[in-house]
Amino acid sequence: MLPFVAAMSRPFPLRRRCVFGFAALASLLSAAPEPIEGKWTGVLRHGADVADFGLEINRNEKNELIARFNLPAGHVVGATLAPLASKDGHYTAQGFDLTAAGDTLSGTFAPSQLSFELQRADTLPVPSPPPPAPTAPAPEWTYAGGQPFWATPVVRAGIAYVGDEAGVLHAVRADTGALVWKVDLGAAIYGAAAIGPDGIYLVSDDGVLHALEIKDGRERWRTDLGGREMPRGLPAGNSADFDYRAPAPVLADSVLYIGSADGACHAIDAKTGASRWRFSTRGKIRADALLLPGRVVFASHDGHVYALNRADGALAWQFDTGGVINSAPVLAADLVIVGSRSAFIHALRADDGQAVWRRFQWFSWVESPPVVENRILYVGSSDNRTVRALDASTGATRWSTDVNGWAWAAPLIVGETIYASSAGTSDYSPNPAPEGSLTALDKRTGRILWRFRTEPRKDRYLHGFSGAPASDGPRAIVAGLDGILRAFR
């Protein structure tokens, strides 16, 4: 979602009060119009990128100048700035600096290095309707787990493994959807499992790392990583600080690398569950780690990326993205790519963490871990509702497609097709409301091939898919917030 908009207020349609006090009305009538009042439209710029932008500025019942803006790229309509302050012909509010000269309104938004030059207008730009999408083929099979699936399925040797909100890990045949076994871990599961030659490893929401037998789910060992006391706030209503993800362990050389809710980075012996080392950050860790030669990279809710020595956990470098990081960093050649709730995608040098480029996402959180293929990044977005193909070397956009949903998960590439999952809700003001779906896209152009939609539920805020689809080769398998696992041929 939009961190900047959330800080001001959630986007909502403009509402006017019908009755004002006589004193307020008299004040309004006596105030001379400011040259900045009225409707203004143009483009918002960030470097070479531009997006349609509109401002409406007028007085409220307290005689304060209020600016409301529309940003169609982020599906923002009527977002309200704090009252404008005026000094020496400049008007400021929450980082915006505005100057009116005749029929031109120019300005900047310093925190994100944005600029704009607007002209007077009668109407403001609004989001375009989502592109049409052919109906998806029917699922080849479905499996009803009974409880919402937030996590991404993992497929190994013909079996799909996925945990649910009730704490049950399900093992299901990838070709038929038949249940092989299931086991109750005692606390909700929000992250994917790691499958090694000797077992299954995953974390439950009480902070416990479990090692299970592959054949039947029997527990081999468990380790308390800590952080069970940390609160988890799932997406709901006007929440702007939600938390719906957990990390999957990353296995290498018989060591499991995983973060915990108390902000710790752990190296755990995969055979015994014993701790090898622990490194502390200042925020929750909800993203998978990234392995580099001799190092492991963690991303924290404190906004920093940390590169640690795999041998002892010593800090090699760190980088501040300026916002909560909820998505896993990935490697593209010699660059570490990571998105954050600062609304930027960052590219950092893997050897020393120095910034190479960053890409602004028009105030939209970047929850989606990018997927890299042939030096192209495929990445989803939140309120932008897009899946994009970016050049990994520069961040330049190759194509961008509106999937009309919060594409929080990593896209799945199978051959020439990209499968992108999204979450949605009917309880959201910008129209149309985001929808939960699985969308198939042409990898070369971003053209929508088909879309499978899920229906909103009265008893749940979200519908659709928060986790990524997985593949067993001939199928894309996706786990839904309705508790249903589906396979598409």
Q: What is the CATH number of the domain that holds 23?
A: 2.40.128
Residue 291 lies in domain: 141-488
pTM as predicted: 0.91
Report if residue 371 sits inside a domain: yes
Strand order through the sheet with 90-93:
76-80, 65-71, 49-59, 38-46, 114-120, 104-109, 96-101, 90-93, 85-87
Q: Do 446 and 332 sit in the same domain of this protein?
A: yes
18 and 162 housed in the same domain? no
- Mark which of 120, 149, 178 sits at the end of a domain: 120
Residue 202 to residues 210, 211, 222, 230, 271, Cα–Cα distance (Å): 6, 7, 10, 18, 14
- Residue 155 one-letter amino acid: V
Does residue 132 lie in a domain region?
A: no
**Tell me, what amino acid is at 189?**
I
Q: Which amino acid is at 379?
A: V
For residues 421 and 475, membership in a common domain is answered with yes
- Decide if 136 is inside a domain: no
Look at residues 90, 120, 150 and tell me which one is the last residue of a structural domain.
120
Enumerate the β-bridge partners of residue 252. Answer: 255
- Tell me the pLDDT of the chain (489 aa) as tens digits: 444 444 443 333 323 333 334 444 444 444 566 889 999 999 999 988 899 999 999 999 999 999 999 999 988 899 999 999 988 778 999 999 999 998 999 999 988 899 999 999 999 999 988 888 999 999 999 999 999 999 999 999 999 999 999 999 999 999 999 999 999 999 999 999 999 998 999 999 999 999 999 999 999 999 999 999 999 999 987 777 899 999 999 999 999 999 999 999 999 999 999 999 999 999 999 999 999 999 999 999 999 999 999 999 999 999 999 999 999 999 999 999 999 999 999 999 999 999 999 999 999 999 999 999 999 999 999 999 999 999 999 999 999 999 999 999 999 999 999 999 999 998 876 667 899 999 999 999 999 999 999 999 888 999 999 999 999 999 999 999 999 999 999
Q: How many domains does the chain have?
A: 2
Neighbours of 378 (CB within 10 A): 24
Asked if the structure places residue 131 within a domain, the reply is no
- 147 and 104 in a single domain? The answer is no
- Considering the domain architecture, whether residues 116 and 145 belong to the same structural domain is answered as no
| Strand ranges inside 60-139, DSSP E | 65-71, 76-80, 85-87, 90-93, 96-101, 104-109, 114-120
234 within a domain of the structure (yes/no): yes
Query: Are 72 and 177 members of one domain?
Result: no
Q: Is 127 among the domain residues?
A: no
The set of residues, in sequence order, having a beta carbon less than 8 Å from that of 287 and lying 6+ positions away, is: 245, 247, 259, 298, 299, 325, 326, 327, 328, 329, 369
One domain, residues 448 and 375: yes
Instruction: Write out the two tokens for 462.
Output: 């979200």
Cα 478 to its chain centre, rounded Å, is 17
In terms of domains, do 89 and 152 share one? no
Same domain, 234 and 354: yes
Q: Do 40 and 167 fall within a single domain?
A: no
Residues 259 and 397 reside in one and the same domain: yes
Q: Are residues 164 and 109 in the same domain?
A: no
Q: What is the CATH number of the domain that holds 397?
A: 2.130.10.10
Question: Is 392 inside a domain boundary?
Answer: yes
Residue 191 lies in a domain: yes
